[in-house]
Structure 1
Amino acid sequence: MISATGLGVRFRRNRGSRRNFKDLFAGRKRRSRPGEFWALRDISFDVRPGEAIGVVGRNGQGKSTLLKLVAGVLFPDEGRVRVNAGVAPLIEITGGFVGDLTVRDNVWLMAGLHGLRRAEIAARFDEIIGFAGAEDVTDTPFKHLSSGMKVRVAFSVISQLDEPVLLVDEVLAVGDKAFRAKCYGRIEELLAEGKTLFMVSHNERDLRTFCTRGLYLDRGKLVLDGPIDDVVDRYNADHPA
């Protein structure tokens, strides 16, 4: 379902730095200037259909960058990643919503942009609004919603997509307890349908609940790829509370 080979992503710490003409024809070592660093390097793995993968690591170790590569919103500087199916990205999920449009219009817009046909959106509209608990704000401009309600609406739309691969980046850490419980239930439903899950979370319970396999990233490197319990235990041993 997902295949990554030798993935590498390079960023610049100092955005003001510029490369000169010679750099374009220089070797890789020459092109790695002092102000640059590799957020990810030499990352390789394969994901089979129906697997549930949890990505583990400290902040700033490349976890969200890896999800963006899988989502296709970021391109690698080295290697390649292939996703042999459509992706439902629960990452930065309020991005793309238009503040001046109503909740109703945003649901139609975002669902359509993600490939749902008009008949499908119409059939699922009430369920999307109901899941978010947005019945009272359906005709309210999106920009006037609370941050929590924005996330509710966005999650409700994206989780209705029929894509085989679900990407989740810390979205379960937001919202109140009742809404988080609804999110948990929805993800369990999607997994029961055979969806492939690729998930970033700092919540050990979520990782052990939903995932069967883990990828442990540290300093941009893949330290361990194995059963989720082994990966979480290794991470805890390396970084005791």
Structure 2
Amino acid sequence: MSQPIAAPHRPSIIVDGVRKRFTINHALSLKDTVVAWIRRRTLTSDFEALKGVDIVVDEGESVAILGLNGSGKSTLLKLISGVMAPDGGEVLTRGRVAGLIEVGAGFHPELSGRENVFLNAAILGMSRSEIEARYDEIVAFSEIEEFIDQEVKHYSSGMFMRLAFSVAIHIAVDVLLVDEILSVGDAPFREKCRLKFEELIAARKTLLIVSHDLDMVRELCVRGVVLSKGEVVYDGPIEGAVRLVES
């Protein structure tokens, strides 16, 4: 009897030969700038954050991006989320992508928490009727009900994180990108977020997580990608990635 044919892999994220360069300004003062101009010295240099990175993440995979500070992890997530464009190569994503890249990113400081829920959810592709249907659930998960009508410029970083995370996970997301922001929350809220991640994984959503919390990525991720100086130095089972980072 013939064997059933396995379902083909469907990539959710394709990073193909991606490069990203930044210009660093070394001028410390007006005097430095004037002296450099007189002596015809340059006060800028180029820093190549990513050097031809290739990664494919399949639908339903949970992948950790690991590496030391400055290795290019956050830059990679910003490129995948569309916050920045690559200088070379290509980034492709499938479905609706939600990125928790920076605490409070996308929040308007003069608007209330309630208004920012509607603004951020709309940016992430939800209709007003969808937002209204999930609004109570979003606010309840964030645990900041009593502050929801305050302007968010008065929020702490933890309050920002709770509300941003709650909005992102309550939309019909296909790909969720998370960059270290869960370190802001207290232990009970981090545990609630971890359980929510497990729900998303069970629902075969694609997760890409940048974190220094190796215990958390061991629990949530099956695969690890290690970056060093803008290049992929490991791509495989999560235990191998964690051992390399710990060594």
Q: Distance in 2 between matches of 1:45 and 1:107?
A: 32
Report if the CA contact (8 A) 1:6-1:80 is conserved: yes
Q: Does 1:9 align with 2:5?
A: no
Q: Distance in 2 between matches of 1:13 and 1:112?
A: 35
The structure-2 alpha-carbon separation of the partners of 1:159 and 1:15, relative to structure 1 and needing over 3 Å to count, comes to farther
Report if the CA contact (8 A) 2:17-2:88 is conserved: yes
Counterpart selection for 1:194 from 189, 204, 209: 204
Alignment partner, residue 234 of structure 2? 224
Q: Give 1:80's aligned amino acid.
A: E
| Residue pairs, 1:1-241, within 5 angstroms | 1-14=12-25, 35-237=45-247
Q: Give 2:14's aligned amino acid.
A: S
C-alpha distance after superposition, 1:104-132 (max 9, x if no partner): 11111111121111111111111111111
TM-score (normalizing by structure 2): 0.85
C-alpha distance after superposition, 1:183-237 (max 9, x if no partner): 1111111111110011100011011011111111001111011101011112222
Report how many aligned residue pairs link the two structures: 221
Secondary structure of 1:39 counterpart: strand
Q: Distance in 2 between matches of 1:138 and 1:38?
A: 41
C-alpha distance after superposition, 1:23-71 (max 9, x if no partner): xxxxxxxxxxx81121110211211100111011000110000001111
Report if the CA contact (8 A) 1:5-1:43 is conserved: yes
Q: CA deviation at 1:10?
A: 0.8
Q: CA deviation at 1:146?
A: 2.1
Secondary structure of 1:89 counterpart: strand
Secondary structure of 1:13 counterpart: strand
Secondary structure of 2:56 counterpart: strand
Q: Give 1:227's aligned amino acid.
A: P
Q: Give 1:9's aligned amino acid.
A: K
Secondary structure of 1:75 counterpart: coil
**Identity rate of aligned residues, in percent?**
45
Q: CA deviation at 1:14?
A: 2.2
Secondary structure of 1:140 counterpart: coil
Q: CA deviation at 1:93?
A: 4.1
C-alpha distance after superposition, 1:135-154 (max 9, x if no partner): 11121111122221121111
Q: Following superposition, which runs of at least 4 residues in structure 1 exceed 4 angstroms of deviation?
A: none
Q: Give 2:46's aligned amino acid.
A: E
Q: Give 2:49's aligned amino acid.
A: A
Q: Distance in 1 between matches of 2:97 and 2:26?
A: 31
Secondary structure of 1:225 counterpart: strand
Unmatched 5+ stretches in structure 2: 1-11, 28-43
Structure having the higher Rg:
2
Secondary structure of 2:25 counterpart: coil
Cα RMSD for the two superposed structures: 1.6
